[in-house]
């Protein structure tokens, strides 16, 4: 399961591994710094090759004279800590490096001769894997907890309560007439109502994030007139937002469905086959909000993804500055494949500059101009023989059945056989080949 982000581990998790023997020389109060990866570099200026978040490892080969500028560059590049390997170049960490790291607030670790850089890199990889596994386990447990809450007699309050308890958050469900549920906070800051009002009065795919007091806050619409506001002491991670999305879906279901419907969906017995996945791209920065009619919307960087139960107005969306692709309707178990379909459709929509929906079929995935050229080229020999075109179209629609084709056209079956024979000769095509018949079918559609 990809979480769509780069995991991190605190520096202290590496320092706390006795086998590495790491010694903290500076920054002992910064062991909570997030490490994304370990990187080895002996360049005098490694900054152009850094991405940020590194535990940079060096043995001091080619070490620059201006150590202060070296450390300052690392800090500017986003390096989280520096690990210095003792021997073979230096018998101890240079004092001027310790001073520079202290001056610029960069944690400095000493690696004993017995600890190769590879061991540190492996430890980072293991710690990242452990963090990823722990996060996946938390996501699974959180979803199960919220699901059980949705099946209680008062599902809305139960879901809000459990959501707040998952990560020491505070949650407020705000309705048009005030607070519907609140957990983890005694009084509600007026800024919460202002934030909810901003989300409520907007339209289309929307959410809001801000800071209220000492809390990082996000707000999402649940049902018309209702907004879920969640606050935390730290910024929300991708995993946090995924859990909130689960709560939003359950709250929306609990608000507008009876317990039986909720139960069916949660245990995989939902027989509704009208779910659609919508993928979209903002055509310009001036794109306006529009209503998709669902709270299950993810908008990031000018792109959106949503799950809807009714096909949205793609024309209205385009007028609002959004280009949409809408999958074919599916059941809940086929949503992943519908998402992939919508993603491919969006690529096509961007290429042709207009919306694409599952109702358009495969033809929508082909450039209209290219399709017309293909149809003209293939059917050119029949351009002056409309009766042959009609016969071919009917015969293909009847799956090659002579009697049904004859009945549809009101002619004798032998006439159908004769005409199809002429078509095969004129087009130089073997009509017993399923692929060639398929090409003809599309060519006929594109020639209309």
DSSP assignment, residue 130?
A: H
Q: What is the pLDDT of residue 164?
A: 92
Q: What is the pLDDT of residue 334?
A: 77
Say how far residue 314 (Cα) sits from the centre of its chain: 21
Q: What is the pLDDT of residues 427-444, one digit of tens each?
A: 888 888 777 887 788 788
- Inform me whether the pLDDT recorded for 344 exceeds 50: yes
Q: Are strands 81-85 and 297-300 parallel, antiparallel or unpaired?
A: unpaired
Q: What is the pLDDT of residue 97?
A: 98
Say how far residue 263 (Cα) sits from the centre of its chain: 26
Average pLDDT over residues 53-81: 96
Average pLDDT over residues 349-362: 73
From 302-306, 326-330, 438-442, the region with the lowest mean pLDDT: 438-442
Q: How far apart are CA 324 and CA 347, in angstroms?
A: 10
Contacts of 213 (CB under 8 A, 6+ apart): 189
Helices (H) and strands (E) counted in the chain, each on its own, are: 15, 17
Q: Name the residue with higher pLDDT: 164 or 437.
A: 164
Specify the pTM. Answer: 0.48
- Inform me whether the pLDDT recorded for 203 exceeds 80: no
Decide if 290 contacts 322 (C-beta within 8 A).
yes
Q: What is the DSSP string of 280-320?
A: EEESSTTPPP---S-S-EEEETTEEEEEESS---HHHHHHT
Decide if 179 contacts 172 (C-beta within 8 A).
yes
DSSP bridge partners of 198: none
Q: What is the pLDDT of residue 6?
A: 46
How far separated are the first and last CA of the chain, in Å rounded?
A: 45
Nearest CA to 115 out of 182, 219, 38 is that of 38
Contacts of 428 (CB under 8 A, 6+ apart): none
Q: What is the pLDDT of residues 87-140, one digit of tens each?
A: 899 999 999 999 999 999 999 999 999 999 999 999 999 998 888 888 888 888
Q: What is the pLDDT of residue 428?
A: 87
Q: What is the pLDDT of residue 196?
A: 87
Range 349-379 burial, b when 16+ CB lie within 10 A, else e? beeeebbbbbebeeebbeeeeebeebbeebb
- Inform me whether the pLDDT recorded for 363 exceeds 80: no
Average pLDDT over residues 172-183: 79
Q: What is the pLDDT of residue 224?
A: 63
* Residue 285: burial class (beta carbons within 10 Å; 0-12, 13-18, 19+): exposed
Average pLDDT over residues 308-323: 84
User: Which segments within 176-226 are labelled E, that is strand?
Assistant: 178-183, 208-212, 215-221
Q: What is the pLDDT of residue 5?
A: 39
Reported confidence tier of residue 256, pLDDT bands at 50, 70, 90:
low
What is the pLDDT of the chain when averaged over all its residues?
84
Q: Are strands 178-183 and 208-212 parallel, antiparallel or unpaired?
A: unpaired
From 13-27, 190-204, 233-247, 320-334, the region with the lowest mean pLDDT: 190-204
């Amino acid at each position: 399961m990809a979480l769509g982000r780069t995991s991190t581990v605190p520096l202290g998790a590496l320092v706390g591994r006795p086998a590495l023997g790491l010694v903290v020389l500076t920054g002992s109060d910064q062991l909570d710094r997030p490490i994304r990866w370990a990187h080895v570099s002996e360049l005098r200026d490694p900054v152009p090759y850094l991405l940020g978040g590194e535990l940079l490892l060096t043995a001091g080969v080619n070490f620059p004279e201006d150590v202060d500028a070296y450390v300052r560059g690392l800090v500017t590049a986003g390096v989280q800590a520096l690990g210095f390997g003792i021997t073979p170049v230096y018998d101890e960490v240079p004092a001027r490096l310790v001073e520079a790291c202290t001056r610029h607030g960069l944690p400095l670790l000493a690696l004993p001769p017995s600890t190769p850089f590879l061991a540190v890199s492996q430890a980072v990889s293991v710690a990242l894997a452990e963090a990823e596994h722990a996060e996946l386990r938390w996501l699974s447990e959180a979803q199960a907890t919220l699901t059980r809450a949705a099946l209680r007699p008062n599902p809305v309050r139960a879901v809000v309560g459990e959501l707040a308890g998952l990560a020491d958050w505070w949650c407020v469900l705000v309705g048009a007439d005030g607070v519907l549920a609140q957990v983890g906070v005694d009084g509600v800051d007026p800024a919460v109502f202002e934030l909810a009002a901003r989300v409520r009065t907007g339209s289309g795919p929307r959410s809001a994030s801000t800071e209220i007091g000492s809390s990082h806050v996000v707000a999402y619409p649940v049902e018309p007139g209702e907004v879920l506001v969640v606050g935390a002491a730290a910024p929300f991670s991708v995993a946090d937002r995924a859990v909130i999305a689960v709560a939003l879906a359950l709250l929306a279901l609990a608000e507008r469905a009876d317990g039986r419907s909720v139960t069916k969906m949660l245990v995989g017995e939902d027989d509704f086959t009208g779910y659609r996945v919508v993928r979209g791209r903002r055509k310009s920065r001036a794109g306006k909000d529009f209503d998709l009619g669902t709270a299950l919307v993810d908008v990031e960087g000018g792109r959106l993804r949503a799950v809807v139960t009714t096909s949205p107005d793609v024309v209205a969306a385009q007028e609002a500055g959004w280009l949409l692709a809408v999958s074919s309707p599916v059941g809940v178990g086929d949503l992943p494949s519908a998402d992939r379909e919508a993603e491919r459709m969006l690529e096509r929509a961007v290429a042709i500059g207009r919306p694409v929906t599952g109702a358009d079929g495969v033809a929508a995935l082909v450039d209209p101009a290219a399709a017309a050229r293909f149809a003209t080229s293939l059917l050119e020999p029949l351009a002056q023989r409309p009766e042959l075109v009609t016969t071919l179209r009917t015969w293909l629609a009847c799956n090659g059945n002579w009697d049904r084709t004859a009945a549809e056209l009101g002619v004798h079956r032998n006439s159908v056989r004769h005409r199809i024979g002429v078509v095969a000769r004129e087009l130089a095509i073997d009509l017993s080949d399923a692929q060639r018949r398929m090409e003809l079918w599309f060519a006929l559609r594109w020639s209309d």
